[in-house]
Chain A
């Protein structure tokens, strides 16, 4: 039943549960050896998409093609796909060894092949010596590695991972992330990974598909997704916490630099595509891209008040994070801005913020 590694995987899925459309024309192409992440909040349909790929649920409409061949008409056991579940789903009544050899045994592979494969994947996930343990006698991280080994033992042409790290503690999660990335490049696996954690998505993937309410919002490399989100949802999900809608007030003679204004907040920006006077433009900036340029704790430097893209504000909340602070600042018209800065401030301080125009992200409508 072993199949060739996948060249391209063409996915086009519509899935309805009753009247509710969970996936609406979900279209994605995965290239061989690619690490693709489906990223979205819980309930967005990402796990449904994965289950469709695995064959655990049927499509309402659409198709899944592996190198041009229909995959969606095959039962799960014939697809040659591996899957790692959020709760690992190990067989609690079998020791590690049997868990890993299960797939090879039901496919009636020769004994010596089973033996060598099991040894191979056990060393791959560094679990030699644990063969006789039962899943309940392992830690979360070890169970996770057994689940990965069990999937890899069959040399699947496509490996699906459903939030595999979400049950691990923060430190272990970081280690497993590195291990997963290493496995991916070492074995040349084709991977579809589901998560709601943007850090996982950015750090692991070749490409990320951001999903909301069953619709793909944006597909791109982690950098594209992070630096130029396609819409408000993606920007919000990727950690841009400050959103403004400003009106174009003036366009400078070169036609590139636009001056935008709303309620006393004025920004001069050069990255607005084809600005027109009177347009409403939605912008966003990440908390750590805003600088505190003047605060009582800073030695007073040259007056900065008249610099472009600055605004005064009053500190309302300070959260100490160690290296930095999360600072909530109220600017004109009671607008609240979240800033992340190492500058020491206190509640009630009058400060001046600088919005780096290079870091301001324009959100298309």
Chain B
């Protein structure tokens, strides 16, 4: 019935049908994304009485303590993203044709994503904390006398955030690598390339577009770090990220316009980074659209 109905509608009307079906998601987008965004944008340009229109931004950017959150966030996000990529690429590459117990391995890797930040933070505290297993083990075998400080500081956040976002990065790259036609790799081998040459000259360039996209997405995730920075870091000092600054402005000082300004600054920085990464991707590679799987 439905089929014949579609047929009678013809193609033009099918488009109209598709638009109609898109409506709910469009509505969702408008209500939950566009509206808050523009509301926040207007709010951020609503200064206190008698101040210039850009005052909310000006206050944040001229206050050294506040401005330092930008650097503190970047200092976390970039190394963690690079670490996740460096770890994922070789792992995804070796697993590209499947391995034994692959399901078990992937399940373990997906687990941190599904557990949520708080559980991961608790795990890290229990394992790497001052009285954690790791430190006790090192002390017991006599390697160290004082426990290593691995939590409630910069390192703690790096570890926690890495654990949370690495699986996402890895799974994305695994999907990308396994999609590359294995015959391409085989033909490189037969042409005399060693496994090392195959990786550097053929597979890595073919993976590059996927790597840059994974980099961009993981960077955005890392840049918005909030709970991990509080639970595993020093939210009052070394790991006071820009998201914490925005939160404090909104819910401790109840200054929504200034909090919105911080959120806008955060968005602009992310967009700048994404633009750089995507520009790099464009320069890097011309082949993707030319059919990566089928020659």
Contact = CB atoms under 8 A, between A and B. Distances in A.
Nearest to B202: A91
A331 interface: no
A85 B187 contact: yes
B183 A134 contact: no
Interface in A76-90: 76-79, 81-83, 85-90
B191 A150 contact: yes
A87 B181 contact: yes
B165 to A, nearest CB: 28
B183 A106 contact: no
B290 A92 contact: yes
Contacts of A55: 189-190
A1 interface: yes
A85 B186 contact: yes
Given A76-B190, A77-B192, A91 B290 contact: no
A56 to B, nearest CB: 5
B291 A91 contact: no
B295 A90 contact: yes
A106 B198 CA distance: 9
Contact of B189 (A77, A92, A135, A147): A77
B17 to A, nearest CB: 34
Interface in A241-259: none
A106 B206 contact: no
A1 to B, nearest CB: 7
A77 B190 contact: yes
B192 A54 contact: no
Interface in A23-57: 54-56
Contacts of A103: 191-193
B184 interface: yes
Interface stretch (B1-9, B77-85, B281-289): B281-289
B282 to A, nearest CB: 14
The main secondary structure of chain B at its interface with chain A is helix
A191 B288 CA distance: 33
B58 to A, nearest CB: 47
A92 B295 contact: yes
B193 A106 contact: yes
B193 A92 contact: no
Contacts of A85: 183, 186-187, 295
**Interface size of A as a range:** 35 or more
Contacts of A143: 295
A228 B82 CA distance: 67
A107 B292 CA distance: 25
B191 A92 contact: no
A56 B191 contact: no
Given A81-B190, A89-B183, A103-B191, A135 B295 contact: yes
A134 B287 contact: yes
A10 B267 CA distance: 67
A83 B291 contact: no
A326 to B, nearest CB: 34
B81 to A, nearest CB: 24
Q: Which of B192, B285, B289 has the most A CB atoms < 10 Å from its CB? A: B192
A93 B206 contact: yes
Given A102-B193, A135-B290, A135-B291, A91 B183 contact: no
Interface string B193-237: 110010001100110000000000000000000000000000000
A137 interface: yes
Given A134-B287, A136-B291, A89 B192 contact: no
A154 interface: yes
B294 interface: yes
Contacts of A94: 287
Contacts of A56: 186, 189-190
Contacts of B286: 93, 134
Nearest to B186: A56
A93 B180 CA distance: 12
A89 to B, nearest CB: 4
Interface in A89-114: 89-94, 102-103, 106-107
Given A107-B192, A135-B295, A102 B201 contact: yes
Contacts of B206: 91-93
A92 B287 contact: yes
A54 B190 contact: yes
27 contacts: A54-B190, A55-B189, A55-B190, A78-B192, A83-B187, A89-B184, A90-B187, A90-B295, A92-B184, A92-B206, A92-B291, A93-B285, A93-B286, A103-B191, A103-B193, A106-B191, A106-B193, A107-B192, A134-B286, A134-B287, A135-B290, A135-B291, A135-B295, A147-B295, A150-B187, A150-B191, A151-B191
Given A88-B295, A134-B286, A143-B295, 5 more contacts: A77-B192, A83-B190, A85-B183, A87-B183, A135-B295
Interface of B: 181, 183-184, 186-194, 197, 201-202, 205-206, 285-292, 294-295
Query: Would you list the 9 A-B pairs with minimal beta carbon distance, nearest first?
Result: A136-B290, A103-B191, A93-B287, A89-B183, A88-B295, A92-B287, A89-B187, A76-B189, A106-B193
Interface of A: 1, 54-56, 75-79, 81-83, 85-94, 102-103, 106-107, 134-137, 143, 147, 150-151, 154
